């Protein structure tokens, strides 16, 4: 059953007095329960407006449906079809002006926390399965990569 809470599931954060004394991330990430609860806010829209807002066309409702089921490995596989850096994108993408700006749940409340769910899935994968490196077959061409941002790393 859909979770009709109007607001996103809050992201746990370090206490300000604690985080002032370390260099760890302020945002601590969702627990499995939080991720499943937030994923249940997705309406699995047939026209998938959120995907149109994603520059790399992540299959958003499909991966979120797997999170809601608790099948986090399948959720990762779906994200990895189009995005090699979900842990980065889940943290630094401007979701508020991309995928989440198109989410229909944002009309009467806050959009689904797509970025937080992407981050959760990537972190879960690293904690439970490791990073799978895909090595395509050689094609004889050589390229130069300029820059070390997400595009260059990919």
Q: Which residues bind ligand SF4 (CB under 6 A)?
A: 42-45, 48-50, 60-61, 103-105, 112, 114
Least CB distance to ligand SF4 at residue 87 (A): 19
Residue 57 or residue 154: which is nearer to ligand SF4 going by CB? 57
Least CB distance to ligand SF4 at residue 110 (A): 11
The phi and psi torsions of 55 (rounded to 5 degrees) equal -60, -25
The Cα 154–Cα 2 span in angstroms is: 35
What's the per-residue H, E or C state across 54-66? CCCCCCHHHHHHH
Least CB distance to ligand SF4 at residue 23 (A): 33
User: What's the gap between Cα 97 and its chain centre?
Assistant: 15
Residue 107 or residue 146: which is nearer to ligand SF4 going by CB? 107
Least CB distance to ligand SF4 at residue 107 (A): 10
Least CB distance to ligand SF4 at residue 6 (A): 13
Tokens of 31: 């627990």
Which residues does 25 contact at the CB level (< 8 Å), separation at least 6? 14
Residue 108 or residue 132: which is nearer to ligand SF4 going by CB? 108
Nearest to 60 by CA among 118, 147, 134, 124: 118
DSSP 135-148: -PPP-S--------
């Amino acid at each position: 059953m859909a979770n009709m809470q109007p607001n996103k599931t809050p992201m746990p954060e370090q206490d300000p007095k604690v985080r002032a004394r370390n260099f760890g991330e302020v945002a601590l990430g969702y627990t499995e329960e939080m991720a499943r609860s937030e994923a249940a806010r997705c309406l699995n829209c047939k026209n998938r407006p959120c995907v149109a807002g994603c520059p790399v066309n992540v299959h958003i409702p499909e991966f979120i449906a797997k999170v809601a089921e608790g099948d986090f490995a399948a959720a990762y596989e779906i994200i990895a079809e189009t995005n090699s850096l979900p842990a980065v994108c889940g943290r630094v993408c401007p979701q508020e002006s991309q995928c989440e700006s198109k989410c229909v749940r944002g009309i009467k409340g806050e959009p689904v926390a797509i970025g937080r769910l992407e981050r959760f899935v990537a972190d879960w994968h690293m904690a439970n399965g490791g990073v799978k490196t895909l090595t395509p077959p050689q094609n004889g061409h050589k390229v130069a990569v300029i820059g070390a941002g997400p595009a260059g790393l990919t």
